[in-house]
Chain A
Amino acid sequence: MEMLSGAEMVVRALQDEGVEYIFGYPGGSVLHIYDALFQQDSVSHILVRHEQAATHAADGYARATGKPGVVMVTSGPGATNAITGLATAFMDSIPMIVLSGQVRSDWIGDDAFQETDMIGVSRPVVKHSFMVRDAKDIPEIMKKAFYIATTGRPGPVLIDIPKDQTAPNVKNPYEYPKKVKMRSYAPVSRGHSGQIRKAVEELMKAKRPVIYAGGGVIQGEGSELLTKLAHRLNFPVTNTLMGLGCFPGTDPQNVGMLGMHGTYEANMTMHSSDVILAVGARLDDRVTNNVKKFCPGAKIIHIDIDPATISKNIMAHIPIVGPVHQVLEEMLTMLDEHGGEPDRKALERWWEEIEGWRKVHGMRYETNENGPMKPQQVVQALYKATKGDAYVTSDVGQHQMFAAQYYQYDKPRRWINSGGLGTMGFGLPAAMGVQFAFPDATVACVTGEGSIQMNIQELSTCLQYGLPVKIININNQALGMVRQWQDMQYGGRHSQSYMESLPDFVALAEAYGHVGMKITKFEDLEGAMDEAFALKDRLVFMDIYVDSTEHVYPMQIADGSMRDMWLSKTERT
């Protein structure tokens, strides 16, 4: 058997897992591993400028490809800088492996230089973690880590590796396990057929049904089947922020995103429904509003791989624990065998009602010919310039909601944002990860002048690797979402929500070796977009000045039901 050092084992295991990229930053306790990386060329290491960006880049890669993202950081500050990225991936169930260096085993607990109890610090934000106590265990630990990260409800797994376990002079036999068996971890592989049958019967009886599809449909590779099911039944479909793209955004059956900033018709459809088919969604507080007033007439069928998600916030009448893909497939088979038809007459009436809502309050905003540009116009121009076929990453705030509302995602894995944790600074590094995964694809990062500055140092990484990401900086000179809440709930007192002393983003982009553009007039927007996207091999930073007083609407009224919404600054339901 081949004899390898711990460091060589780590690298070989990455190769055996078929890892293309590892995002990281070197430091004392991982130097043995970096030396082993240097001596091979099948795993490419991407040097970021901050460890947080390494995690988001790996995360973006994972969301765009479905494959796990891999990160390497050193001990102490390197490791703690990865925490936000771990938490982001954990909240959105993204498969990720983070290898963190640790001080040598005999120094652990001595407050050694760059020592942090990373297992302890990361515990609440990982699916699982391992500490390497013996280099011999590395192949098995690596195998288990990839297995745990990518199966069941996916999530990040951390491996903490003390420096002595990777020492080049200590060699152990290496054999990568073909299979992994853990008596304490067995993710559900099938939904309960009896429950699925009950669900199908309920769907056949429904008079006002709705399919509510979340990020689990994308993670569980269920988009095609969900689309097939929705078309077969002619039911309206609404997507969560995380689920955008799992059902085509331009499909007439799509009533748009639901929840806090969901469309009027999506929230009305949910509230008025009699059967909700929730698929890979977790009925979280940004969707339900006040749980006591949530969809009073609805029976809930809830499909999810994670039993703990079912009936956590809202009781499910028909819970189905299982992989979305398998459950939907079985549902479709049952429909075929059953020859079941939904209540067409009732559906016709239901669709009339929904069309009515669409007509009354579709997505809209006011423009002012002589005034500043609207942020919504920027997203619409982006949609046009990219023909609706870009990978769009976003940061967090108003621009994120506009990018969710006004860009129609027709395919899964095209909309990449930090939905659960809401991590500002996610957008640019995530876009890097996507661009590495798909070098020829159009990748746009929709951001704001607040968020972009939380990981702006990555402009340097983009130059190093020639990543032609297009940064759409929707610059409203304020922390827009904070400001909106202050307008609506704090009497317009804008406490710390200004962005004073903004940098000259054009000069900044140029200083990093990229192309910068400043756009202040709407009539220049379309031309500038075309120009930017024509520069196929350059990163373009578009600094686009927009109205700083714009709000995101609709917006659910706190503590109300799903149908209680502000539709503009003056109108409410």
Chain B
Amino acid sequence: MRRIISILMENEPGALSRVIGLFSQRGYNIESLSVAPTEDSTLSRLTLTTFGNDLKIEQITKHLNKLIEVVKLVDLTEGAHIERELMLIKVKATGAQRAEVKRSVDIFRGQIVDVTSTVYTVQLTGASDKLDAFIGAIGETQVLEVVRSGVSGISRGEKVLSL
């Protein structure tokens, strides 16, 4: 099952490599990863998505918690949460395709952020499956380049991940 694990950790050199190293060392898989400092500059927030059954995820979270630089973590998929990913995608836009792509962008509530005579660059945010669906709707043959930010997430309601 797909899980989103969100980690609050010390914003120190080497901390990220310990998290990544743990996954490769123990044979766990990272599907996506995003990391940036928080409002408190001594802390970074790292969000990663991975796959595994309950047992495996339990091991992953236990081992992550053992890393000295990890302050707190949460498996967002355990409760109600909001998940977002940003995608910038360059698609062919010539002839009849131009209008077709525009319509799809509107349906998916994306924005065209750059235009040439043959190419649209589209910005789209949403859950990962929505971004997948957009690529499906456009058709892979029309896609020139895709860049995705990796998943970020936050719990719904009053639950917060902070010190």
Contact = CB atoms under 8 A, between A and B. Distances in A.
A associates with B: yes
Interface of A: 119-120, 123-124, 127-129, 131, 133, 148, 182-185, 306-308, 311-312
B68 A182 contact: yes
A184 B68 contact: yes
A308 B59 CA distance: 6
Nearest to B42: A183
A183 B68 contact: no
Interface string B38-79: 000000000000000001001100110110111100000000
Contacts, number: 36
B62 A308 contact: yes
Nearest to B8: A184
Contacts of B63: 308
Contact of A183 (B55, B59, B71): B71
Nearest to B13: A131
B17 A120 contact: yes
A227 B116 CA distance: 80
Nearest to B22: A124
B13 to A, nearest CB: 7
A119 B14 contact: yes
A148 B59 contact: no
Contacts of B70: 184
B71 A184 contact: yes
Interface of B: 9-10, 13-14, 17-18, 21, 25, 55, 58-59, 62-63, 65-66, 68-71, 163
A133 B68 CA distance: 18
A420 to B, nearest CB: 15
A180 to B, nearest CB: 12
Contacts of A184: 9-10, 68-71
A67 B132 CA distance: 56
B43 to A, nearest CB: 10
A165 B71 CA distance: 28
A133 B12 CA distance: 12
B61 to A, nearest CB: 9
B47 to A, nearest CB: 18
A123 B25 CA distance: 10
Given A120-B17, A123-B18, A311-B58, A128 B71 contact: no
23 contacts: A119-B14, A120-B17, A123-B17, A123-B18, A123-B21, A127-B68, A128-B68, A129-B14, A131-B13, A148-B68, A183-B71, A184-B9, A184-B10, A184-B68, A306-B66, A307-B62, A307-B65, A308-B59, A308-B63, A308-B65, A308-B66, A311-B55, A312-B59
A183 B21 CA distance: 22
Contacts of A133: 13
Nearest to B9: A184
Contacts of A307: 62, 65-66
A534 to B, nearest CB: 49
Nearest to A308: B62
Nearest to A312: B59
A128 B66 CA distance: 10
Contacts of B25: 124
A120 B13 CA distance: 12
Contacts of B71: 183-184
A391 to B, nearest CB: 31
B66 to A, nearest CB: 6
Given A184-B10, A184-B69, A184-B71, 6 more contacts: A124-B21, A131-B14, A183-B71, A308-B65, A308-B66, A312-B59
A306 B70 CA distance: 16
Nearest to B68: A128
Nearest to B26: A124
Give me the 7 closest cross-chain CB pairs, A-B, nearest first.
Answer: A308-B62, A184-B71, A128-B68, A124-B25, A185-B68, A307-B62, A123-B21
Contacts of A123: 17-18, 21
B17 to A, nearest CB: 7
Contacts of B163: 183
A351 to B, nearest CB: 36
A124 B10 CA distance: 19
Nearest to A310: B62
A123 B58 CA distance: 22
Nearest to A153: B66
A133 B13 CA distance: 10
A312 B25 CA distance: 15
A183 B63 CA distance: 17
A311 B14 CA distance: 29
Nearest to B60: A308
Contacts of B21: 123-124
Contacts of A311: 55, 58
Contacts of B10: 184
Nearest to A315: B55
A543 B65 CA distance: 49
A128 B25 CA distance: 15
A98 B13 CA distance: 20
Contacts of B69: 184
Find the residue from B13, B66, B69 having the highest chain A CB count within 10 A. B66
A21 B23 CA distance: 36
A308 B10 CA distance: 21
Nearest to A119: B14
Contacts of B14: 119, 129, 131
B91 to A, nearest CB: 40
A55 to B, nearest CB: 20
Contacts of A129: 14
B149 to A, nearest CB: 26
A308 B28 CA distance: 15
Nearest to B14: A119
A315 B17 CA distance: 30
